[in-house]
Every structure is written in C-alpha cells, then in structure tokens.
Structure 1
C-alpha cells in the first residue's frame, strides 16, 4: 500500500503562519525520507487557522527542498480561476521539477460569497461552468483544444516533455463521475464525507474513460489519522482535532486548540453528537489499529493509496504519527 500526505498548514493557538508553513516544509522533508508517495498542500481562504492560501507558491518551495516525493495541490479551486493561468502555473512547476508535480483540482466555490467575489475581482462565476473549465484545462495542458475552440491558437507555456499529473478531488458519486468521464485521477475526501465513499469508487471505476491525461483509472482516498504508541495517547491527541473540527463546523475560530484548552470547553449534547459523527471521518489509534482499518478501507474503495491528514495541536506528536505509519507499512523498506 502507498501512503501520501495532505497538509493544510494548520496554525496551532499561540503560534503563527510562519511557524505553520515551516512545519509544512519539515513534514514534507520528513515524509519523503519515510517513503511517502506524494505531498499535497491545500487552498483555503479567509481563515485565521489555515496558512495554505497559495498552493502554487508552497509547491515550489517544498519541491525545491525535496528530491523525490511528488508535490501537488489538494486542490486548486478551479471555478474561481482561468484554466489557462492554472495550466501555465503548473506547467512551469513541472518544467522546474519534471515528473514530480500533481495538479489536484477542487470544484469548491471557495467559501462565502464575499470570499468568492474577492477571488474573482467581483466577477460572478457559475459552478455550471466547471465541466467546461476542466476540459479547457486539459486542452491547455496537452495542447489539444479542439478545432473551432475560441482559444485553439493559444499555447500554454512553457512547453515540456512531461505534464503535471491531474487529479480531481470529490466527495460524492457525482464528482467521481466527472473525474471518470474526463479521464483524470480521482481523490475521494473520506475526511469530509465518509458515507458515500463506496458508491463514489464504484462510479469512478465503472465509468472511467481513458484520456490524454490517463489511460487507466487511478484513485486515492484522503482520511484523518492520529496514530500513537497507545490507544489512550492517540485519543488524547485527537481531542484537539475533535474540537477544531467542531469549531470549523460552527464557523468559529479555526486555530487548533491545545489538549489542555479543550478540557475547559463546555460541550452540549449536540456538540458531543457532532464529535462522535466526525470520528467517522478519522482513524485514531495504535499503528496496528490504523493499519487494520486502512486495509479494510482498501477493500471498500478498491484502491491501494491513502492520503493522510493529521490536524492536531502538537507538531512533534504529528511527526511521530507519520513515523509510526511508515513503520507499520514498512514504507521506507520497499524497493
């Protein structure tokens, strides 16, 4: 099995964006040494708790400090941007770091209305344009826009012998179908919507159509994981993620609280229900437990790659979680 990383550059309370971004780089360098396959950074806006607002810049920084791990976006909010500009950004990254760049595309509108309009300089864009944008992006990447297309004579530079690997991110069977029909790799967000995963995987694998981007279907699954030497320690570490997710859902402070701070947070019965439900999005436990549950999910999804996201307060414990996973799956002993 392959393991990869999604990092949102979370900011712990009492810390700042500089520290969070430095930790993202440290995590990338560490997981490369541990044998993880790819390292993706997110795109989030108008938040005080996530420092990952510009994945293209972070990708360049991380790729320049690593040698082998694939680096990419998880993902660029295509509905808010020009497919041409996205193509040129990632073709430039691919020219700088050949064979190492992943272009993960999200179809999220990017947040509240004011945030979306700020991203587009007040130009209102329709989500109905996403399928067209996706086809245009593929056309620009591969210089394959059809005859009669208004931009058929426009070349996306720089030209290169290799192209970034394109992934579509989704949390439903509808997103899976879009990826399948357009012949892109597909990332399913179990860490957001675990309930529809099996149906999404079936939709993707059965409806897949080969393309210039991809000849055979390729899928990975992103999931929250907190791993520690004992179940008790993993549970305690995960409390900061529990309260963080609760606050995110309520539109509150999105910085990650410390474990000691979480113990002072009053929880209603509804809060406790939400936390229990959110735990369905995560695996929390010892290396043996995490490995067992990931192997079970491998059968559910029909994939052998999982992308791990760990948003806890203690960065050293976060690093340790990835070390334990690498040891459990013998990542750095393969080949």
Structure 2
C-alpha cells in the first residue's frame, strides 16, 4: 500500500444539529490531521443551493485551510468554471499559488455544481456549451501562464500576480466528456467514481491513449474520487452504509425537509425504484474494517491503474470521520 497515495475530498457537509461555522472549523482540524498523516492533497468542492453543504466557494476556503497546514497540496475539486470569469479565477489562483508556492491545485469542472437556475444566477451569460468550456480552458491557462495569443485580449490583459510555481491543472470528469479536454490540453484527470461508478476505467484508459504532453505535464496523471468510510467496529460500518443509502436518496429527491435520525432511517421501507437506486449508489462508495478497506482501495487502484485514491467521508460524528482517515493512513504504510 506504500505506493498508493491517499487524498481527501472535503465537501464541507453540515452534520445534524450543526452549522456552517462548526463545519468549517472541522475542515481546519481535518486538514491538519491529513497533513500529519501524510496524505497527498486536500480538495474542496463547489456546490450551490444545497443547504447541507457549506462549500460554495473553494477559492475562499483554500487560503484559510492553507494557513492551517504545512505541506499537503490544497485545491479545488473543483472550480465549476462555467459559473465564473476565467480572468477572475486566474487572478484568484495566481494569488493562491503565490501565497502557497508548490501546493496549489486548480481542479476544473464543467458541471454547474447545482441546478441550472443557480448556475444562471452565478453567470447569466453561461450557455452550457462545450465550445465555450473549451475556450474557457484555453483562457484560464493563458492568463495563468501570461502567454500572448495574437489578436486577442491576452495581448494587453494579464492576470496578476504571476505565480513562480503555477497551480497544477486538473480536469474533473464523471461521464468522460471532459476527459477529452484533459487529454487534448495535457492536464491531469480526476475521475469522480463517487458520482458515476460505471465506465470509469474505460474513460481513464481512453484519456491515457489520447494524452498529448504539455509544458506542465509530460505524462498522463490520474486520481479517482470515491466516498469511503473505515472503522474497526463493524456496527459503525453497517450504520454508515444504512445512512449513506438514505442520504443519496434524500439528495436525489431534492434534499427537502429535515434529515431524519439514524433510528428513523432504520425503520424506513423502500419501494422497488428506491431499492434499485440504492443498489446503484452502493457502487459509489467503499466501506469496511481496515482489512476490508485495504483490499477495496487496492482493487479500485488496480481497476483504474492509478496510484492515487481521493476519499470523501461524510459522517455526522466528526470523531468517526477523523478515525476513518487515521485507519486508512495506517493501512497505507
């Protein structure tokens, strides 16, 4: 397991009877722990119009968490670029890379990170077109590298400050479409298995086959994101799975109303459609005791031929969440 790097995806999930402030304090504590445990990177997601998640602006949270850590890479997983001005994001990440040299990742996604209305309000000019997204990718790279494209505004407009060590570029994908851009532009690829558990290894293989080296990246680079939970207590693992089953249904139903207690969830009966969704969603996570988790991490890494797995752990009990990451760190040794 020493060859497998583990990273953290923090979606800033607000637990029952908690709030955004406490959630962000927990993130500060978790990145300190992740740094001490030797994890590779710590990414923050961008979500909108979803009351259970406090992570609406990775570019705001990154500098706070950067000051709470020493060596771990920190970045966006991701910035949903169609929601934003590429010039402003280039300024933001040039500044972040100047504040934390050699530690900043710019993970870019194409999805809205919420519903279409929210995306429209964030960027009224958003057309959701592939061509516009490709142009944004060219734009943000050009701004960050201070290149000049003839007959464009890049001749006269630059994004300052220019970082001595620019952020590492990553493209996020869950369906495979964006993987084509990662290959075309020579960027690293992060496959969101926690969103789509089907077809990922094939997408990654196609990315590798079509990869064109860039100045920043000479060879294909891949990580895989998945939900996960580890405990030495099998009852806790089973409870986590029970809650996860319902949590995904709750999100798919629009996250309306208060989230029920674990005991209430245990009493629920699911119809055939819900049972089918639960069966599908169980492919989006790995969970188990340390020995079981080690085998599942290894299988996932082998399936994708990757040396980095990024784990997102949602758990209402923060101590259980921390313990899960500690146990995973131990099985890496």
TM range (shorter): over 0.9
SS at structure 1 position matched to 2:133: helix
Moved more, 244-253 or 298-307: 244-253
User: 1:142, 1:212 within 8 Å by CA — same for their partners in 2?
Assistant: no
**Aligned with residue 99 of structure 2, among 96, 106, 109:** 96
Which string of whole-angstrom CA distances, capped at 9 and with x for unpartnered residues, describes residues 242-273 of structure 1?
Answer: 21111111112487654233224442232222
Cα distance between partner residues in 2 of 1:217 and 1:326: 26
Q: What is the deviation of 1:305?
A: 0.2
In the TM superposition, 1:121-160 aligns within 5 A as 122-128=124-130, 129-160=132-163
Q: Does 1:27 align with 2:42?
A: no
Cα distance between partner residues in 1 of 2:8 and 2:128: 31
Which string of whole-angstrom CA distances, capped at 9 and with x for unpartnered residues, describes residues 130-172 of structure 1?
Answer: 0110011111111124222232221111022110111100012
Residue ranges of structure 1 left out of the alignment (5+ in a row): 331-335
**Aligned with residue 195 of structure 1, among 194, 198, 203:** 198
Cα distance between partner residues in 1 of 2:206 and 2:191: 12
Cα distance between partner residues in 2 of 1:329 and 1:253: 39
In the TM superposition, 1:249-264 aligns within 5 A as 249-253=252-256, 257-264=260-267
Q: What is the deviation of 1:279?
A: 0.7
Q: What is the deviation of 1:54?
A: 0.9
Residue ranges of structure 2 left out of the alignment (5+ in a row): none
User: 2:186, 2:218 within 8 Å by CA — same for their partners in 1?
Assistant: yes
User: 2:184 corresponds to which residue?
Assistant: 181
**How high is the TM-score relative to the length of structure 1?**
0.94
Label 1:287 to 1:184 Cα distance change in 2 as closer, same or farther (>3 A): same
User: 2:10, 2:42 within 8 Å by CA — same for their partners in 1?
Assistant: yes
User: 1:298 corresponds to which residue?
Assistant: 301
User: 2:290 corresponds to which residue?
Assistant: 287
Label 1:227 to 1:253 Cα distance change in 2 as closer, same or farther (>3 A): farther
User: 2:9, 2:311 within 8 Å by CA — same for their partners in 1?
Assistant: yes
User: 2:89 corresponds to which residue?
Assistant: 86
Q: What is the deviation of 1:295?
A: 1.0
Which string of whole-angstrom CA distances, capped at 9 and with x for unpartnered residues, describes residues 204-242 of structure 1?
Answer: 111111113312211100011111114332121232222
**Aligned with residue 39 of structure 1, among 37, 42, 45:** 42
**Aligned with residue 281 of structure 2, among 278, 283, 302:** 278
Cα distance between partner residues in 2 of 1:250 and 1:239: 17
User: 1:240, 1:257 within 8 Å by CA — same for their partners in 2?
Assistant: no
SS at structure 1 position matched to 2:311: strand
Moved more, 17-26 or 259-268: 259-268
Tell me the C-alpha RMSD between the 2 structures. Answer: 1.6
Q: How many residues align?
A: 329
User: 1:216 corresponds to which residue?
Assistant: 219
Q: What is the deviation of 1:315?
A: 1.3
Cα distance between partner residues in 2 of 1:179 and 1:54: 23
SS at structure 1 position matched to 2:200: helix
Q: What is the deviation of 1:274?
A: 1.3
User: 2:146, 2:162 within 8 Å by CA — same for their partners in 1?
Assistant: no
